Amino acid sequence: MTDIGFDGKVAIITGAGGGLGRQHALELARRGARLVINDLGGSVNGEGGNVGPAQSVVQEIIDLGGEAVADGNSVATSEGGKAIVQTAVEAFGTVDIIVNNAGILRDKSFHNLDQQMIEAVIQVHLLGAFYVTQPAFQIMREKGYGRIVSTSSNSGLLGNFGQANYGAAKMGLVGLTNVLAIEGRKFNIKANAIAPVAATRMTEGLFEGVVEKMDPALVSPLVAYLASEACEPTGEIFSAAGGLIARMFVGLTPGYFNPSLTAEDVAAHLSDIRDEEGYIVPFDNTDEIKKIIRIISPQ
Ligand code: NAI
């Protein structure tokens, strides 16, 4: 097995002033990456901000003998995204890796969500990933290399009460990842998503009895692999928690076909339609369309 190393590759990790992002940063730094430690430094709700948390992670990395610079811009604006990438270019001349990790919470049941709660969460998680990744993607295309790791969540992939804003933003990141994987393919740019579970300030009080097992540092080996040259998959989603790594995916069942389909047929064949036996995992929409055409128009 080859060791995963970064050989001076330049990584931007957003929201790396604490929690998961800090662990990803330390892991990549130990393996030789040069880092931009971005963090707005606000509360878990996204209020306030200072560059202190980012600076203290930079200091930790320097103490380890690594290279890092702090960046206090917000991912939530297009100017902020450009400025974060500019920090990498000014400090290290390029960018090879983006880890979209910055995030906030504004939890409320759907009927109680106000516009501000909806927009703030989508702004940071989903639009933030656009704002940071787009200027970096341009550089990656030109150099023919890039790795993008975006932080999704089981709250979006599977759902969680009180997190309509967060869940929608996190599932949006899966859509973004799918398209970046397709558009990046011929430039050796790989894009994958992770769905972590870890004890951080964001999940305080949630994992009583297993807090120690939910060490955020145990998510970082997955990020290091997906951010490395060795990474094979693209356009995939991986769950990571306490050292357990698994693939999550959108699958397609073989389904039920009837060229004169009625609503009654749908009702009568629901169990065939939903039968998971023999499902496939299409890579992109062309894959699915080919399968459809093979069945509805075999010649
Ligand atoms: P955290 O609150 O410690 O980390 C989030 C970081 O993002 C904070 O340091 C915060 O200052 C920073 N941030 C917030 N808004 C920002 C902005 N506009 N610009 C730049 N930085 C900003 O929480 P945690 O758990 O480490 O979260 C990291 C990521 O993992 C988030 O995207 C979160 O949604 C995701 N996640 C975490 C899970 C968990 O179990 N802890 C579960 C699923 C997803």
Query: In what helix (H) or strand (E) does residue 157 lie, and over which residues does it extend?
Result: helix 154-157
CATH code, 10-248 = 3.40.50.720
Name the amino acid, one letter, at 162: G
Per-residue pLDDT tens digits for 194-208? 999 999 999 999 999
Beta bridge pairs of residue 37? 13, 70
Q: Which of 35-49, 201-215, 267-281 has the highest mean pLDDT?
A: 267-281
Nearest CA to ligand 1 atom 40: 197
Give the predicted TM-score (pTM) of the model.
Answer: 0.98
Mean pLDDT of 74-99: 98
Q: Which atom of ligand 1 is nearest to the CA of 41?
A: 11
Q: Residues enclosing ligand 1, CB less than 6 A?
A: 14-15, 17-21, 38-42, 44, 46, 53, 74-76, 101-104, 124, 128, 151, 153, 196-198, 200-203
Q: In a mutational test of the pocket of ligand 1, which residue from 123, 200, 213, 238 has the highest number of ligand atoms less than 8 Å from its CB?
A: 200
Q: What is the pLDDT of residue 100?
A: 98
Per-residue pLDDT tens digits for 104-140? 999 999 999 999 999 999 999 999 999 999 999 999 9
Helix/strand/coil percentages in the chain, nearest 5: 45, 15, 40
Confidence band for 298, pLDDT divided at 50, 70 and 90: confident
pLDDT tops 80 at residue 265: yes
Beta bridge pairs of residue 238? 194, 247
How much distance in Å is there from the Cα of 101 to the middle of ligand 1?
Answer: 6
Nearest CA to ligand 1 atom 1: 19
The string of DSSP letters for 79-103 reads: HHHHHHHHHHHHHHS---EEEE---
200 C-beta neighbours (distance < 10 Å), count: 20
Q: Which atom of ligand 1 is nearest to the CA of 44?
A: 2
pLDDT tops 80 at residue 1: no
> Do 89 and 3 form a contact (C-beta atoms < 8 A)?
no
pLDDT tops 90 at residue 150: yes
Torsions phi, psi for 7 (to 5 deg): 45, 50
Task: Give 280-285 contacts, CB < 8 A, sequence gap 24+.
Answer: 280/251, 280/252, 281/249, 281/250, 281/251, 281/252, 282/250, 282/252, 283/235, 284/178, 284/182, 284/235
Q: What is the pLDDT of residue 236?
A: 98
pLDDT tops 90 at residue 299: no
* Percentage of the chain exceeding pLDDT 90: 97
Mean pLDDT of 47-67: 96
Residue that is written with structure tokens 């055409």 in the block: 293
Q: How far apart are CA 86 and CA 65, in angstroms?
A: 24
How much distance in Å is there from the Cα of 236 to the middle of ligand 1?
Answer: 21
Query: Mean pLDDT across the chain, nearest whole number?
Result: 97
Q: What is the pLDDT of residue 2?
A: 65
